[in-house]
Chain A
Amino acid sequence: MSRRAPKLGRGVALVGAGMSKFGAFADKTSRDLFVDAFNAMTKSMDKAINTEDIDALYVGNYSSDLFEGQGHIAPIMADWVGLVPKPATRVEDACASGGVAIREGIIAIASGIYDIVLVGGTEKMSNLPTEQVTDTLASASDATYEGSCGFTFPGLYAAMATAYMDKYGASVEHLMKVGIKNHNNGALNPKAQFNKTIKDLMNSRIEKAKQKGEQIPDWHDEIDFLRDPRANPVVAWPMRLFDCSPITDGAACILLVAEDLAKNFSDDPIYVVGTGQGSDHALHERDDLTSILSARIAAQEAYKMAGVTPEEIQIAEVHDCFTIAELLAIEDLGFFKHGEAFKATEQGLTARDGLKPINTSGGLKSKGHPVGASGVGQVVEIWHQMRGEAGPRQVPGKDIRLTLTHNVGATGGTCVVHIFQRR
């Protein structure tokens, strides 16, 4: 028995979006970051909002319990932005927590139970040593069967990369090109954790070597730099350090309202026209490691609801927790055929001035990946790009009317896709 065609009970619009600076902040907690994001969101709005008008809060957060020793954070976030006594709910689906929180907000408004919903995401990860962060992230994976053979999170994506390279003939250099492209975008994003290009990083290393009177590395371009294990050590072959997104503190907030209220809050609202979500097996139960079922399912549902095709999507923010993840994403979303994403990336089709710009924000790779906030941060970029407010990283020569976000939990156990339209 198949489901009836998915549709929203009533229309939902996006009327504001903002994020904190992403990075590593010793002097900030997840609630401080959340307030930063909330303030950025209210500043992004065309008209003022009173907190008493907001009906409810959904907040994406993966693991404040383990990262900060603090559970039950939704009412805390509500309190810090003046929402008490409104209902506040935390949503957890690993790295897709933020995207799923958005979906819960959309569903709540579409159902008619709320008119105005604040959706946020927040994560404070930099308190812990890398091993402990990875350990916490690994708890999104299977402890018994992955832990006992030394399989940790980056390795799972590495095994997917190995399978992809074997099946389609892609090389480690193709993975590197995803990172180079995303850093080129992130360099133009003042909120990004690493707002530097790989070339900037390479040149600063060369400069440092010169100053110290050390041997000057023989790097002619970014690929030379990324191939050098001194600059870019192997983490889990075929993935190196620069194939991985960083450990990040950050928060993001968006305001969703019933479509008929949109003009009360915004002169130029963005409409949610599609949303989809799916789940997938653990890696050891999959038929194929080079494609993620949950992403295909989520995309199909969102496209069907929106009545659009992948070709019509003009730009997208996709979940590039690792470089291989971006290649899988843009194939699973139908932007490129299976086995073609690495060639498309090499040809510059996914660059900011390409046919299908992907991760104009810098993506998780360069903008940063504060797990529970990442999915909401994607929508912040879409908001700015669709309204022509993205500054130096604004996609050139495109009137952006249709966009998509793609947010994955762990290795694809969850995927959530949203489609946005500017009318």
Chain B
Amino acid sequence: MVGKFEGFEIPKPIPALTEDTKPYWEGCARHELLIQHCQDCGHFRFPPSGLCPKCMSTNTEWVAVSGKGQVYSWTIFHYVYHPAYAKDIPYNVAIVQLNEGPLLHTNIVECNNEDIYIGMPVEVIFEDVNDEISLPKFRPLSK
């Protein structure tokens, strides 16, 4: 990264908690993946929001999901766009589809970048950022 950032520690962006997203991030902090499940039409939705985009119902329950899924697509960043990611280059970003349906933006961990492929079975693990925030990451599904 360019010199002007030297001497500064610029943190990675972390999610801001809102009333609608708080149960999700609180679940992550407990290392539990909670997804909203519409009690009227049964749609699993992500990211968290105040109403079901399929049926407009506000009748929602939080459900602990399996945390298992597969890689839907992925990329490897070779260029630094955010100084906090400079030391990670080259790093992967993946879109993982949970078995329950929703897609999550995440990183694949405990795996070489070269070994990632579409359809790769993965499972969630949590990376603690601070007391409030843990980010869901995915690793190859242990046999």
Contact = CB atoms under 8 A, between A and B. Distances in A.
Contacts, number: 107
A284 B97 CA distance: 9
A149 B106 contact: yes
B82 A162 contact: no
Contact of A150 (B16, B47, B73, B91): B91
Contact of A160 (B73, B85, B103): B73
Interface string A225-253: 00000000111111100000000000000
B3 to A, nearest CB: 12
Contacts of A285: 46, 53, 103
Interface stretch (A64-72, A128-136, A201-209, A388-396): A128-136
A117 interface: no
A148 interface: yes
Contact of A144 (B15, B73, B94, B102): B15
B82 A150 contact: yes
A114 interface: no
Interface stretch (A101-109, A151-159, A210-218, A264-272): A151-159
B56 interface: no
A140 interface: no
B118 A236 contact: no
A237 B15 CA distance: 25
Interface residues of A, number: 37
Interface string B99-136: 00011111100000000011000000000000000010
A131 B81 contact: yes
B95 interface: yes
Interface in B41-98: 46-47, 53, 72-83, 85, 88, 90-91, 93-95
A227 B67 CA distance: 38
A49 interface: no
A48 interface: no
Interface in B1-57: 2, 12-16, 21, 46-47, 53
B35 to A, nearest CB: 12
Contacts of A239: 75
B16 to A, nearest CB: 6
B82 A159 contact: no
Given A148-B135, A166-B118, A284-B47, A237 B14 contact: no
A337 interface: no
A241 to B, nearest CB: 8
A284 B73 contact: no
Contact of A162 (B14, B47, B73, B80): B73
A92 interface: no
Task: Specify which of A144, A235, A237 lies most central, judged by the most chain B CB atoms within 10 Å of its CB.
Answer: A144
Nearest to A134: B81
A145 B78 contact: no
Nearest to A286: B103
Nearest to A287: B103
Contact of B107 (A134, A149, A154, A284): A149
A286 B105 CA distance: 12
A143 interface: yes
A150 B12 contact: yes
Given A129-B2, A143-B13, A162-B118, A284 B78 contact: no
Contact of B75 (A135, A148, A155, A286): A155
A289 B88 CA distance: 26
A160 B74 CA distance: 8
Contact of B93 (A129, A135, A138, A155): A155
Contact of B47 (A145, A238, A286, A289): A145
Contacts of B107: 149-150
Contacts of B117: 166
Contacts of A159: 73-75, 93-95
- A143, A166, A233 interface centre (most CB from chain B within 10 Å): A166
B117 to A, nearest CB: 8
Contacts of A340: none
Contacts of A146: 105
Contact of A237 (B53, B76, B104): B76
Complex A-B, nearest 10 residue pairs according to Cβ-Cβ distance, in ascending order: A158-B75, A147-B13, A237-B76, A152-B81, A163-B73, A284-B103, A234-B78, A159-B73, A144-B15, A166-B118
Given A144-B15, A150-B93, 19 more contacts: A131-B83, A145-B104, A148-B15, A148-B135, A150-B12, A150-B77, A150-B91, A151-B105, A152-B82, A154-B79, A159-B73, A163-B72, A166-B73, A233-B79, A235-B78, A236-B77, A283-B103, A284-B95, A286-B103
22 contacts: A131-B2, A131-B82, A145-B105, A147-B13, A148-B13, A148-B15, A149-B107, A150-B77, A151-B105, A154-B81, A158-B75, A159-B73, A161-B75, A162-B73, A163-B118, A166-B117, A234-B90, A235-B78, A235-B79, A237-B75, A237-B76, A283-B95
